[in-house]
Structure 1
Amino acid sequence: MDRVILHCDCNSFFASVELLAHPELREVPVAVGHDGNSRHGIILAKNEAAKKFGIVTAETVWQARRKCPALILLPPHHDRYREYSKKLNEIYGRYTDLVEPFGIDESWLDVTGSLHLFAQSGAELADVIRATVKKELGLTISVGVSYNKIYAKLGSDYKKPDATTVITRENCREIVYPLRATAMIFVGRAAEQQLRSMGICTLGELASADEARLTQVFGKMGQQLRRYAAGEDESPVAPQHEPEQVKSIGNGITFKRDLVTPADLRTGTGYLADEVAARLRAKGLKCTAVQVMIKDTALKSISRQKTLPRETDLASEITEAAVQLVRANWPAGKPIRALTVTAERLVTGPVPCQMGLFAEQETAPPDPRREKLERTMDALRQRYGQTAVAAGSLLGNDLGLEDFHKKD
């Protein structure tokens, strides 16, 4: 017996939540984004009226306003989005305990065992859930119904807004196979180009492609891509309350002005590493590697990573590793427009390391005074707010680091 999997995707989520407070703007072009006069001026979301002007997510505000001079820009409220995301998943949880969030506005539901309690078919239950969400939250969702997670997600993307699409073993060739390869999760622009070079443009062509050839190009993922396209995905829907394994913790920012001097670099890197370290400690994790992503004024970027001599959750050590990476891989004095510092290869306990032949080669232990200092800073911020205590280098800086925290 086939599973019954739903994929629920909230339509224009950020914009839809904002419009709940501005119902008078529902029929006019509206986008959510930062101030267009700053260097963070990008479109985060747009409503259906804005989409008709060709406005797309992640383009700059000034580009969007060239397409639609009458565009109304609303500031983002991420706390509201988290609140409504929680409400959405609570509604889904009424119909099954197998609810797996996928980002803030999408979730998979496995209703195989509970379907008979609420409806005669997956499509009928999808319509019930859509109506419930619209009535209780004022939001619309599109739902894909299928026998696996990949096809269910393709279904929710197939018809928008506020629609149900059912993909079965009988109609999948009609619905799925003509779609562009990029319609499927895990096939981005780079993968599409590689597939095109192999003569593969559609999901049908991917489904019938030679696995050995795909593996040569994509490694193990090549085999997986073909199976996804062919509807052979058997991955389970994980319960939403099952702890998610954290693989990395990062913090990035586009600076108000470019980093140029060594002092700029250390101030900016230290600011980012400080929050990364605090989040590591909050989760009881340490990192054994640090990665930096550096973006220049032409918006070109590089990523570099280094392994640490031992695991750490200290901002001072993450800062030092990140600064070393930048200095080793970026010309001195070349402007840095944006920087991301990421803690990688996370662990929950001590990691064995090989002793050196000589005492001076052994890895130095963490400084207990530094550990105490950073944990004291955590406690002060938890009690009095994030800006209660900060490094002296941040005082009076002109890099835009007063209160900007972007969490990855």
Structure 2
Amino acid sequence: MERSHSGRIILHVDMNSFYASVEIAFNQALKNKPLAIAGNVEERKGIIVTCSYEARAKGVKTTMPLWQARKLCPDLIVMKPNFERYRKASKAMFDILREYTDLVEPVSIDEGYMDITNCVGQTPLEIPKQIQQRLLDELLLPCSIGVAPNKFLAKMASNMKKPLGITILRKRELSDKLWPLPVAEMHGVGNKTAKKLETINIKTIYDLAHGDSIQLKKLLGINGELLKQRANGIDTREVDPDSIYEFKSIGNSTTLAKDTTNEKEINDVLRRLAHSVMVRMKRKEVLTTRIFISIRFGNLKTITRSKKLENPIKNEEDIYSVAKQLFFANWNEEPIRLLGITAQDLLGKNDAIKQLDLFSFEEDAKEEPLLSVMNKINERYGNQLIQRGVKGALETDISPGTSFNKDFLRD
């Protein structure tokens, strides 16, 4: 018989320094040492992805340049990311969570929500304690857990005590635990939004909770009212186990080894990014109707540009062509530090209807005989037995990108 509660009980399980913790679990000689995971470890401009709490104690922080981290912590141990290792650890972690309830919603590779409202036989506090201990005993991985009546408050609670914290946040405790915090510390409010809110004298979560709705909507659009509701502890979202498979974009970006104005180097980077995006689109069986690019200059100024496409595309050459056109239309010939390509407004392959026009009809007609043969074979032996596309070797491409956190469940 299921136990009922007057309200929901939601957990937010947040792994502590996940990449670093996985490396420590894999090699116990790294335990209690300042460890950082960083991209481009051979380069002075490499960036810290995450670091152990021993490194944090020395002032090392996520997104900090490697040269600065080593200056603060000369004995810092720096390792390249091992994404396949982190993916396996993540799956093992979520397997444990699903032993308690089917209502587990992965948010990224190292965090997820659980709805334990109707779990039988244990109190709401016993379950997070047991989960935290099991993850530590069985996987050697520490986590913090927030316990609350909704997803937003559970997320805020899990951030309140790290590492190895368990924090309960009830609505009646908002005035003591939540409202005094700076608004920039609220989940869903980034630095840019916090600066905007400061222009209307909103500096704390209390200020946001009691802000003028019309003023907030004028400043932030529909998101203003949503943030005000969150600040008041209102969040009606369900824990959705399938939400990880819902995605609106697939992207990748890379920081160049050194700032460059060399057009060949820039074209090579754009092509590699287009290839990476194409591989992930192929794996997800989607097409894109908008290409979005990011350009960061040597002075750290960043611009973004996008182009809406008349017809959906999926091929590397098409993605590269649009991205290249966008780049050179907006490049001021200043040195480039970072480039990114994102495929947006995605459509499932079976849902994408191409608008044939005078320019594409002839090319599509040439492909029709081949497509017909493929369809007949698939109808006889099973759907997707034969597909058009790149060489099979690309299926094993697991090159890291900015969307790895959202892409980790791929098989």
The CA deviation at 1:238 is: 0.5
Q: Which residue of 1 aligns with 2:279?
A: 278
Q: Which residue of 2 aligns with 1:208?
A: 210
Stretch moving more, 74-83 or 188-197: 74-83
The CA deviation at 1:353 is: 4.5
2:245 match: secondary structure: coil
1:102 match: secondary structure: strand
Equivalent of 2:80 in 59, 72, 75: 75
Unaligned 5+ runs, structure 1: 387-402
Q: From the superposition, tell whether residues 322 and 367 of structure 1 become closer, same or farther in structure 2 (CA, over 3 Å).
A: farther
Unaligned 5+ runs, structure 2: 1-5, 372-386, 404-411
Q: Check the 8 A contact 2:253/2:273 in 1, yes or no.
A: yes
Q: What CA distance in whole angstroms lies between the structure 2 residues aligned with 1:101 and 1:405?
A: 19
Letter of the 1:64 counterpart: A
1:251 match: secondary structure: strand
After superposition, the C-alpha distances for 1:136-191 in whole angstroms (9 at most, x for unaligned) are: 11111111111011111111101111121111122222111111112221100001
2:179 match: secondary structure: coil
Q: How many residues align?
A: 380
Matches within 5 A, 1:157-196: 157-196=159-198
Equivalent of 1:95 in 93, 100, 106: 100
Q: RMSD of aligned C-alpha atoms?
A: 2.5
Q: Which residue of 2 aligns with 1:14?
A: 19
Q: What CA distance in whole angstroms lies between the structure 1 residues aligned with 2:159 and 2:319?
A: 40
Q: Which residue of 2 aligns with 1:381?
A: 394
Q: Which residue of 2 aligns with 1:251?
A: 252
Q: What CA distance in whole angstroms lies between the structure 2 residues aligned with 1:308 and 1:97?
A: 39
Q: From the superposition, tell whether residues 367 and 80 of structure 1 become closer, same or farther in structure 2 (CA, over 3 Å).
A: farther
Q: Check the 8 A contact 1:143/1:155 in 2, yes or no.
A: yes
**Pair 1:222-2:227 in alignment:** no
After superposition, the C-alpha distances for 1:19-56 in whole angstroms (9 at most, x for unaligned) are: 11332332232212235431651111111111111211
Q: From the superposition, tell whether residues 242 and 253 of structure 1 become closer, same or farther in structure 2 (CA, over 3 Å).
A: closer
1:185 match: secondary structure: coil
**Pair 1:125-2:130 in alignment:** no
Q: Which residue of 2 aligns with 1:391?
A: none
Q: What CA distance in whole angstroms lies between the structure 1 residues aligned with 2:297 and 2:77?
A: 30
Q: Which residue of 2 aligns with 1:315?
A: 316
The CA deviation at 1:218 is: 0.5
Q: Check the 8 A contact 2:40/2:46 in 1, yes or no.
A: yes
Letter of the 1:406 counterpart: G
The CA deviation at 1:260 is: 3.2
Give the share of equivalent positions with the same residue, in percent.
32
**Pair 1:341-2:336 in alignment:** no
Q: From the superposition, tell whether residues 323 and 367 of structure 1 become closer, same or farther in structure 2 (CA, over 3 Å).
A: farther
Q: From the superposition, tell whether residues 143 and 380 of structure 1 become closer, same or farther in structure 2 (CA, over 3 Å).
A: closer
After superposition, the C-alpha distances for 1:217-258 in whole angstroms (9 at most, x for unaligned) are: 00000000000010111110012x556212111122223355
Equivalent of 1:51 in 56, 64, 87: 56
Letter of the 1:77 counterpart: N
After superposition, the C-alpha distances for 1:352-394 in whole angstroms (9 at most, x for unaligned) are: 6596xxx57x87755967x99x945332434xx65xxxxxxxx
Q: What CA distance in whole angstroms lies between the structure 1 residues aligned with 2:235 and 2:243?
A: 21
Q: What CA distance in whole angstroms lies between the structure 2 residues aligned with 1:25 and 1:10?
A: 18
The CA deviation at 1:279 is: 2.1
Q: From the superposition, tell whether residues 106 and 262 of structure 1 become closer, same or farther in structure 2 (CA, over 3 Å).
A: same
2:154 match: secondary structure: helix
2:125 match: secondary structure: helix
The CA deviation at 1:275 is: 2.4
Letter of the 2:200 counterpart: M
After superposition, the C-alpha distances for 1:35-80 in whole angstroms (9 at most, x for unaligned) are: 5431651111111111111211010111011111122222321111
Q: Check the 8 A contact 2:36/2:50 in 1, yes or no.
A: yes
Stretch moving more, 261-270 or 101-110: 261-270
TM-score after normalising by structure 1: 0.86
The CA deviation at 1:17 is: 0.9
Q: Check the 8 A contact 1:6/1:111 in 2, yes or no.
A: yes
Letter of the 1:53 counterpart: K
Q: Check the 8 A contact 2:276/2:399 in 1, yes or no.
A: no
Equivalent of 1:86 in 91, 98, 120: 91
The CA deviation at 1:4 is: 0.4
Letter of the 2:324 counterpart: V
Letter of the 1:222 counterpart: G
Q: Check the 8 A contact 1:123/1:165 in 2, yes or no.
A: no
Q: What CA distance in whole angstroms lies between the structure 2 residues aligned with 1:242 and 1:233?
A: 16
Q: What CA distance in whole angstroms lies between the structure 2 residues aligned with 1:368 and 1:87?
A: 48
Q: From the superposition, tell whether residues 112 and 173 of structure 1 become closer, same or farther in structure 2 (CA, over 3 Å).
A: same
Letter of the 1:325 counterpart: L
1:289 match: secondary structure: strand
